[in-house]
Amino acid sequence: MGARRRREPLSRDRALVAAIALVDAEGMAALTMRRLAADLGVEAMSLYHHLPGKEGLLDGLVDAVVAEIVTAADQAETAAAGGNWRTRLRSRFLAARAVMLRHPWAPALLTSRSAIPGGVYGYYEGILAILIDGGFPYRIAHRALHAFGSLALGFAQEVFQPAAGAEVDADAAEAELAALSAQLPHLAAMVAAELHDATDPTLGWCDSQTEFEFTLDLLFDGLEQARGAAGPAAPRTSA
């Protein structure tokens, strides 16, 4: 009889990898501590040594996605080395979006958490460094972060869209639109004209790749004008 294959020990990272795979395949509703334990081949109580309950599991998922964004953005910026501030930021934001498209449940989860994941601070430090190196004063760089909002993390929060990754009943939406068209003709006409093709990667009704990149370019154009109006930034001093 051959040697028995040794099972990989349970760890927080292993549990999170399995959790992400489960949610990617079946959606957030499928994620429970019991189901995750079954997928890992362990007892449910064993998970609590690594993840303190469902909320701890959700926090862990957010940490894992943010870490994936940071890695992807750093790699994209390395590839864009030598480019101007706009090229570097665009590469970072599109890299973050690619992560969100792989995990369409992530935007809703990320925005639902009460605490900011630690990795987000380092990610925004990188964005600020690009802006300051690009000649922006801190005043405009600060306003830029507000303007970017969730775009910096790869998705757009829109007033008229359901939660990212949520299923939309097309027939019900069409009926609702028809009912509202008399009272809201401009909004109804816009929605009818802007319904996206099913092949367009979206993270919600209004968050297509086209709108995402259009908004980025619009913001970058505005920042370029604001930088010129503000004059040269004060020289950076070493501590």
Which CATH number fits the domain 66-230, given the four candidates 3.30.2000.10, 1.10.287.3610, 3.40.50.300, 1.10.357.10?
A: 1.10.357.10
The alpha carbon of 229 is separated from its chain's Cα centroid by a whole number of angstroms, namely 32
Give pTM, 2 decimals.
0.79
The domain ranges of the chain are 9-51, 66-230
Q: Which two tokens stand for residue 76?
A: 């994209």
CATH number at 9-51: 1.10.10.60
**pLDDT (tens place) for every residue of the chain, 239 residues total:** 455 556 678 999 999 999 999 999 999 999 999 999 999 999 888 888 899 889 999 999 999 999 999 999 999 999 988 899 999 999 999 999 999 999 999 999 999 988 888 899 999 999 999 999 999 999 999 999 999 999 999 998 754 444 444 555 556 666 776 777 777 777 777 767 766 555 566 776 667 888 889 999 999 999 999 988 877 666 565 44
